[in-house]
Amino acid sequence: MPELMQFFLSGITVGAVYALVALGFTIIYNASDVVNFAQGEFVMLGGMITVFAFEAGLPLPLAALIAILGTAVIGVALNRLAIEPARGAPVVSLIIITIGASIFIRGVTQIVFDKQIHRFPAFSGDAPIAVGGATILPQSLWVIAGALAVFIGLWLFFTRTLVGRAVLATANNRIAAQLVGINTKFIMTLSFAMSAAIGALAGVLVTPITLTSYDIGISLALKGFAAAMLGGMGNPKGALVGGLLLGILEAMTAGYISSQYKDAAAFVVILAVLFAMPQGLFGRKQTDRV
Amino acid sequence: DIKIGATVSETGPASFLGDPEAKTLKMLVDALNAAGGINGEKIEFVIYDDGGDPNKARTFATRLVEDDEVVAIIGGTTTGTTMAIMPVAEDAEIPFISLAGAIEIIDPVRPYTFKTPHTDRMACAKIFEDMKKRGFTKIGMISGSDGFGASMRKQCLAIIGDYGIEVLADETYGPTDADMTPQLTNIKGKDGVQAVLNPGFGQGPAIVTRNYAQLAIGLPLYQSHGVASDSFIELAGAQAAEGVRLPGTALLVAGLLPESDPQYAVVKAYKEAYEKATGKPVSTFGGYAHDAFAILVDAIKRSGGSESSAIRDAIEATSGLVGTTGTVTMSATDHLGLDLSAFRMLEIQKGGWKIVE
Amino acid sequence: MSLLQIEGLGIDFGGLRAVNDVSFSLKAGEIVSVIGPNGAGKTTLFNMISGVYLPGRGKVMLDGEDVTRLSPHLLARRGLSRTFQNLQIFHAMTVLENAVVGHHLHERGNILADLLSLPASRRSSRESEESARRLLDRVGLGRAAEQEAGSLSYGALKRLEIARALALKPRVLLLDEPAAGCNAVETEEIDHLIAQMAAEGISILLVEHDMKMVMRISNHIVVLDHGEKIAEGEPAAIARNPRVIEAYLGAQATEANHADG
Amino acid sequence: MRLSSKTITLLGLAVVIAIAPVFFPSSFYYRVGSLIFVNGLAVTGLVILIGYAGQISLGHAGFAGIGAYACALAPVHFGLHPALAAVLGAVLSGIIAWLVGRPILRLKGYYLAVASLGFGVLVSMVLANEAAITGGPDGMAVEDPGLRGALKAIGIDLSNTEFWYAFSGLILVIGAWLALNLYHSPTGRALRALHGSEVAARAVGIDVAGYKLKAFVISAVYASVSGSLLALQNKFITPDVAGFMHSIEMVTMTVLGGAGSVIGAILGAAILTILPQILTVFQEYEQLLLGLVMMLVMIFMRDGLLPSIARRLRRGGE
Amino acid sequence: MLTVEGLRSRYGRIEVLHGLDIEVASGQIVTVVGANGAGKTTLLRCLSGIQPVSAGSIVFRGEALTAVPAFRRVQRGLSQSPEGRQIFTNLTVEENLRLGAYLFADDKVDRDMQDAFAMFPILREKRNLAAGGLSGGQQQMLAIARALMARPSCLLLDEPSMGLAPILVAQIFEVVKSLKSLDVTVLLVEQNAFGALSIADRGYVMETGRITMSGPAAELIADERIRAAYLGV
Ligand SMILES: Nc1ncnc2c1ncn2[C@@H]1O[C@H](COP(=O)(O)OP(=O)(O)OP(=O)(O)O)[C@@H](O)[C@H]1O
Ligand SMILES: Nc1ncnc2c1ncn2[C@@H]1O[C@H](COP(=O)(O)OP(=O)(O)OP(=O)(O)O)[C@@H](O)[C@H]1O
Ligand SMILES: [Mg+2]
Ligand SMILES: [Mg+2]
């Protein structure tokens, strides 16, 4: 039994990481139908900027704040310089732009910073906390709490605020959004800023666990994307559940079946879920009448 | 001028290895040219970044051979890229010194292919010798599933029987995994495991080491030469890394070497130069590139010209060349020229390295 | 015998009985109109008949055969064709290509022939194209043939849909508000077109809110309200039916109709 | 006789492939050329899937992997000739695509993307993990098919790079010919129609699921042949060929050049193959510039290079 | 109130409006009629700002609008019920209406919503359902109601009666007429030319991107050419 507990704790730790990345995808997707493949780069920037600010002597909280704000600015710049000018382009073209952006950001990072692996200290030390015969690191609790907080924030934003609804409206029908007085450009800017900030926050929280380097973005984005699709793209609940589920699945497979094929198992389950629920677990079904 | 080419993985999944290699090569070329070159001739150096992609590596190798017309190639950060470059070099009859670990690169021996790092098999042997000495006969293994980890795992499993050691648990993890506690829990739960071995490079081993401490497994942990750099201690945390053993090269313990050590001068000079030039700590991988360059320069000097086949013959005749990884003596049947003595068993103690032999 | 026979058809969305227990039939060359207030279930009925929705209850019989659960492309193969209330145009293709696609079922050849561009494949493409041009002329879009379909105005797109549906050479044609967005004169043109098609033997099931048109060309009218059939009969009788007037036509509308007529 | 635009396009492509070597300063350029053709072949398949039928796949490298490893494994394990192994790989890819495609093509948009991605991951994972058969992450050697030797026997003596340039070029022209044939054929129109509106496509009698599957299978065969060509000319193959990054690269080439146009996509393949070679002079700025070029092309040529340029020319002409 | 002079607009390289002059006085209902493809929709799109103008001027309440982005025009009091309805299909009916009043956060929004429900009771029934599931006519009602939620001083209606049952067509025209008493100016594009001209103060006739006739609605309705070309009598 303790090993089950350990697998579970491992699963939710990793799952919370995926969930944070997946939550970052949600806003830009909800505003524009674009899956931003540079989302992983935001996570990387959050970690890397914190590392270097911290090593330059800033206190960790300040370094983290700078990283989050800095990444948000980069997100806004990405929108203003690359996405907005391509307005009206097909969604695949926009996706390629975000892929280009992710390569670009990686390229800049390796020059501005370096190609080494980095880490900064965990927020509350490294002393494991015992839970039911298993252990979890305090930093994992930070990550889980972060994922929950971001989830609640986003959920309230999309269901309780008019601006949140305006974001959904912008993606659903941009012309109609303008016709009701929504400043769609601002909405896009806001979405990129929020997505980037959430990504950076994820980076800040997970770096003490996963470590960071200029090229961790791709694999995080990949897993986050898979998690978001498992849960249903665009729904914060889906991102959270999808992320946690994916993490737990991987941990259980690694623990009970085969660590070699744990990623495979995760994808097999995703495929199985999608066959039964083509919109993911919580994705809303499109109702388009003919 | 003498034109030398290189293709290494400066970016991509193996950039952890390729980056210090590239930096080392560039640094050494500059230094050599500043000192007047070889036999009065300057080195013209062309280096490409193959991103760890074998297909790209092959293209760059073709480019080096056909377009840049280099006399020799250094490179192939990973075994995969090396195997892709090799046919090009062999076809063109241009000496090629690989920086990757697998034994297949030099076994069977091919006329134009050489390499500087120890083989994975040698690292395994070094570790198993140490285990045997400490009386461990049953171990657990957790390997990275990338090329480095998979290849070393394979080599280790191939020779482990020779040491009377048995693998009770054989786990793996992906190169970008964030948590290895499930695999380690399984190893922990296996009765009779006396020690654990973790072949891998990059962030994986650091996370394994941290998880190892988190689970309070308490058994001796062996890492591979893939993490032989100071940054490993930093990433894993001195506390978690306490007591970890791994086979390393003299480079890593430059400060601990007695002046009488044959490698003392070479290692110290490289370490200082590299750390001054880049501001980063040296790693074993930069050392591989250093040695490859040294072997090549030595061979060019001795061959007295820039004829590829002459250089090849000269490389094969390398003898007693002191590098960072060991003293290299090649032959027609040995295109590596290192033996086990080049490895030193190191243990991490109080955040630093200690030679335990 | 009737060509198309609807028996007790019904479907629910969540708690809503969108269509319930609707039955009627359509004979060859006949024009039957389905009218009713907004949300009465007319389009939903069409969607069930054409296989876009799976009916919850009831049967659709085509030529005496039960075709209830067939998917749309199989129904098309049996000669059932339709247009859409919410335009379904292949925007990235030219107007001509839109019409050519309608010939899909009459095109011979297979994927291999297409890949290799064998004569059979080319010939059938050419034939489809010629026929498509004739159809476009017929709906008044001949001159727009080479334009990208996305650049047409709303009314033109409506007519393009009709051309495409006709390209199937259907036996039964379902038209969902073909005259929406057309002015009185344009409506009359469509009116003629429909009458012509019926004369050629195509059975037509029509949903339309333009009462002048409906009254003028229908052989028979089915009235839905809240998913139920509330009346059925000859146009003149329907126009006088108090339930229909109350639910659908409104007192003024009938007056206006009389005033115009 | 008036030539159709298809014939002109194909002739143009063939002429460019045949004439280009005149300008090659060294035989390295043959290598780059053959890579362009190999990539071009894969993206031509994706034009059919993405450009015509509008279905996104982020897992096509999986098929390239099957094609590549068929050439590596079949000769070793079944003693099959490598060229026949390529055919076997293509057939196998087609069958697997047919099996996999049936369930996953029911998904739409990003959901299809993630499902196909999952398929690609599974393939590359098997290739990397089953080291006993495939050589694991470090890859395995591929036998020479001996086609060059056969040519030599009939008096055509080509160097290795020259041969693969010519051979891949030939295969690409054939691939492009097939794809261009498809565009204006009933099948091509059906694919483009279901891209526009699935409901309407069904209503005119198009078996949407069936046609999607056909496009998927065809594109898988293209990817497989491309993988085989790569394996045969590299004489060595690693699981990277089936990796996620390779899938992304294929899609990027397709969209960059213009997903709806065969020649456009080949152009995209050419650019993304040549660009890294050019950017090497910028050393560490290479990645940064690659990303920048991708963004700029897509910002200013939103439908992809060729369609955008064509539109501009047309506009300028009037 | 709204003055359009020399308005030209193009899709790509094809010009579809060739210099239009239109004048809408405050509180008036002005109708534009014309055949399919005449450019009526394009005109309204230019006015609401979602279609670029290549030449000419739009002056609204004394201010030039040409350079004002679409969402700002809503703030100035222009609101459109567009062709093709353009509702937010993934949002609920209520959310659609709420977004119609995006600029406002006062209590009056609720009252406006109740008014909308009173006008189209079916929308109240469906308030919590995704708007994409509505029938065509219901969506049309929603589009009109949403446009009204913006409290416009000038309402642009693109074929509001399209797809509505006869009983509702009559009601829509009543509603438009009643807007007059609320001092809302209306520019009405309609295929039901007879109905539209009956309630309008002025009318314009558009043919292939040009205004070919204009005048008081009553005169147009009596004009033989118009009766033949647009009224079908
Ligand atoms: N997919 C669906 N999801 C939810 N509700 C639906 C769906 N399809 C239809 N409905 C509901 O069923 C009822 C009937 O709709 P339908 O479109 O058939 O009406 P209609 O008679 O065609 O109306 P109109 O004249 O306005 O086009 C409506 O209340 C509609 O909201
Ligand atoms: N997106 C577009 N691209 C190119 N041309 C277009 C586009 N939209 C409309 N047009 C063209 O502009 C002209 C005017 O179209 P518009 O939609 O304004 O007409 P309309 O008067 O509203 O017609 P309808 O009564 O059919 O709605 C038409 O010739 C049409 O083909
Ligand atoms: Mg309807
Ligand atoms: Mg219009």
pLDDT in tens, chain B (357 residues): 899 999 999 998 888 899 999 999 999 999 999 998 888 889 999 999 999 999 999 999 999 999 999 999 999 999 999 999 999 999 999 999 999 988 889 989 999 999 999 999 999 999 999 999 999 999 999 999 988 899 999 999 999 999 999 999 999 999 889 999 999 999 999 999 999 999 998 889 999 999 999 999 999 999 999 888 888 999 999 999 999 999 988 888 888 888 888 899 999 999 999 999 998 888 889 999 999 999 999 999 998 877 889 999 999 999 999 999 999 999 999 999 998 887 889 999 999 999 987
The length of chain E is 233
At C58, list the tokens.
Answer: 């009831």
The residue whose two tokens read 């390239």 is D64
Name residues whose C-beta falls within 8 Å of residue B322's C-beta, 6 or more positions apart in sequence.
B262, B263, B265, B266, B328
- Report CA(C52)–ligand 3 centroid distance (Å): 14
At A280, list the tokens.
Answer: 């993911």
User: Looking at CA atoms only, how far is residue B5 from chain D in angstroms?
Assistant: 13
| Count of other CB atoms within 10 angstroms of residue C108 | 11
* Pocket mutation for ligand 2, best pick of C151, C185, C187 (most atoms within 8 Å of C-beta): C151
Query: Does the pLDDT of residue C226 top 80, yes or no?
Result: yes
User: Is residue D286 included in any domain, yes or no?
Assistant: no
User: Is residue D45 included in any domain, yes or no?
Assistant: yes
Q: Which helix (H) or strand (E) holds E81?
A: strand E78-81
User: Looking at CA atoms only, how far is residue C85 from chain E in angstroms?
Assistant: 7
The residue whose two tokens read 């892929």 is A99
- Report CA(E45)–ligand 4 centroid distance (Å): 10
Mutation site, A20, A21, A52, A117, interface B, largest B CB count within 10 A? A117
Q: Do C164 and D200 touch (CB under 8 A)?
A: yes
Q: Do B11 and A219 touch (CB under 8 A)?
A: no
Q: Does the N-terminal peptide bond of residue B108 adopt cis geometry, omega within 30 degrees of 0? A: yes
* Pocket mutation for ligand 2, best pick of E11, E18, E158 (most atoms within 8 Å of C-beta): E11
Ramachandran area for residue A165 (φ above 0: left; ψ -120 to 50: alpha; else beta)? alpha
Distances from the Cα of E102 to the Cαs of A161, C192, E51, E75, E114, in angstroms?
Answer: 11, 46, 21, 10, 16
The residue whose two tokens read 């299809």 is D112
Dihedrals φ, ψ of D58, to 5°?
A: -110, 25
At B336, list the tokens.
Answer: 């590596």
Query: Does the pLDDT of residue C256 top 50, yes or no?
Result: no
User: Looking at CA atoms only, how far is residue D234 from chain B in angstroms?
Assistant: 7
pLDDT digits (tens, 9 = 90+) for A193-247: 999 999 999 999 999 999 999 999 999 999 999 999 999 998 999 999 999 999 9
Residue C89: closest C-alpha in chain A: A290
d(CA C212, CA C206): 13
At B27, list the tokens.
Answer: 């640094």
Q: A-chain residues within 8 Å CB-CB of B176?
A: 216, 219-220
d(CA D70, CA D92): 9
On whether the E2-87+148-229 domain is CATH 3.40.50.300, my answer is yes
8 Å CB contact between D64 and D241: yes
- Looking at residue D2, its pLDDT comes to 64
> What is the domain count for chain D?
1
Global pTM reads 0.94
User: Is residue D290 included in any domain, yes or no?
Assistant: no
- Looking at residue C260, its pLDDT comes to 41
User: Is residue D316 included in any domain, yes or no?
Assistant: no
At B286, list the tokens.
Answer: 């930069």
Query: Does the pLDDT of residue D158 top 90, yes or no?
Result: no
d(CA D270, CA D252): 12
Q: What is the dihedral of CA B86, B88, B89, B92, to 10 degrees?
A: 150
The atom number, within ligand 2, closest to the CA of C153 reads 17
Q: Ligand 2, atom 27: nearest CA belongs to which residue?
A: C154
At C86, list the tokens.
Answer: 């919410």
Nearest to A11 by CA among A256, A229, A238: A256
- Looking at residue C149, its pLDDT comes to 93
**What domains are there in chain C, each with its CATH number?**
2-260 (3.40.50.300)
The confidence band for D132, taking pLDDT boundaries of 50, 70 and 90, is confident
At E231, list the tokens.
Answer: 């009224």
User: Is residue D131 included in any domain, yes or no?
Assistant: yes
The confidence band for E232, taking pLDDT boundaries of 50, 70 and 90, is confident
Dihedrals φ, ψ of B39, to 5°?
A: 45, 35
Q: Do E36 and C155 touch (CB under 8 A)?
A: yes
Name residues whose C-beta falls within 8 Å of residue A144's C-beta, 6 or more positions apart in sequence.
A12, A13, A16
Nearest to E162 among C152, C159, C180 (CB): C180
Kindly tell me the sign of the dihedral angle through the C-alpha atoms of B142, B146, B149, B151. Answer: positive
- Looking at residue B101, its pLDDT comes to 87
- Running DSSP on this structure, what letter comes out for residue D22? G
Nearest to E189 by CA among E147, E142, E157: E157
- Looking at residue C258, its pLDDT comes to 39
Max intra-chain CA distance, chain D: 64
- Looking at residue C162, its pLDDT comes to 94
Q: D-chain residues within 8 Å CB-CB of C101?
A: 189-190, 193, 201, 204, 206
At B107, list the tokens.
Answer: 């076994």
- Looking at residue D198, its pLDDT comes to 94
- Looking at residue E101, its pLDDT comes to 95
Residue E13: closest C-alpha in chain D: D315
CA B321 and chain centroid, separation:
17
Query: Does the pLDDT of residue C238 top 70, yes or no?
Result: yes
User: Is residue D259 included in any domain, yes or no?
Assistant: no
**Does C121 reach chain D within 8 Å, measured CB to CB?**
yes
Query: Does the pLDDT of residue C254 top 70, yes or no?
Result: no
Query: Does the pLDDT of residue A262 top 90, yes or no?
Result: no
- The 3-class SS string of D125-163 reads HHHHHCHHHHCHHHCEECCCCCHHHHHHHCCCCCCHHHH
Q: E-chain residues within 8 Å CB-CB of C230?
A: none
d(CA A155, CA A235): 8
Q: Where are the alpha helices (DSSP H) in C16-94?
A: 42-49, 72-77
Q: E-chain residues within 8 Å CB-CB of A178?
A: 49-50, 69-71
The confidence band for C1, taking pLDDT boundaries of 50, 70 and 90, is low
Name residues whose C-beta falls within 8 Å of residue E215's C-beta, 6 or more positions apart in sequence.
E202, E203
Structural domain range at position D168 = 5-243
The residue whose two tokens read 């292919």 is B113
8 Å CB contact between A177 and A166: yes
Q: What is the rounded average pLDDT for all residues in chain C?
A: 90
Name residues whose C-beta falls within 8 Å of residue E5's C-beta, 6 or more positions apart in sequence.
E21, E56, E57, E59
User: Looking at CA atoms only, how far is residue C126 from chain A in angstroms?
Assistant: 31
Q: A-chain residues within 8 Å CB-CB of B231?
A: 116-117
pLDDT digits (tens, 9 = 90+) for D27-58: 899 999 999 999 999 999 999 999 999 999 99
User: Is residue D49 included in any domain, yes or no?
Assistant: yes
Q: Are strands C65-66 and E55-60 parallel, antiparallel or unpaired?
A: unpaired
- Looking at residue C261, its pLDDT comes to 32
The confidence band for C12, taking pLDDT boundaries of 50, 70 and 90, is very high
Buried-exposed string A29-38: b where 16+ CB fall within 10 A, e elsewhere: bbbbbbbbbb
Dihedrals φ, ψ of B350, to 5°?
A: 50, 45
In chain B, how many H helices and how many E strands? 12, 14
8 Å CB contact between D192 and D215: no
Of B204-208, C241-245, E92-96, least confident by mean pLDDT is C241-245
Mean pLDDT of E145-169: 93
**Does B59 reach chain D within 8 Å, measured CB to CB?**
yes
The residue whose two tokens read 């737990």 is A248
Report whether residue C38 contacts ligand 2, using a CB cutoff of 6 Å.
no
- Running DSSP on this structure, what letter comes out for residue A82? I
pLDDT digits (tens, 9 = 90+) for A16-64: 999 999 999 999 999 988 999 999 999 999 999 999 999 999 999 999 9
Mean pLDDT of A12-17: 94
Kindly tell me the sign of the dihedral angle through the C-alpha atoms of A274, A277, A283, A286. Answer: positive
- Looking at residue C252, its pLDDT comes to 57
d(CA E147, CA B150): 64
Mean pLDDT of D115-140: 91
Nearest to B203 among A211, A254, A263 (CB): A211
Name residues whose C-beta falls within 8 Å of residue C200's C-beta, 6 or more positions apart in sequence.
C29
- The 3-class SS string of B41-91 reads ECEEEEEEECCCCHHHHHHHHHHHHHHCCCCEEEECCCHHHHHHHHHHHHH
Structural domain spans, chain E = 2-87+148-229
8 Å CB contact between B216 and B190: no
Nearest to D128 by CA among D241, D38, D51: D241
- Looking at residue D308, its pLDDT comes to 85
- Looking at residue D154, its pLDDT comes to 85
d(CA C158, CA C139): 10
User: Is residue D296 included in any domain, yes or no?
Assistant: no
At B175, list the tokens.
Answer: 């190169």
**Does D310 reach chain C within 8 Å, measured CB to CB?**
no
8 Å CB contact between C206 and C175: yes
Query: What is the ipTM metric for this complex?
Result: 0.94
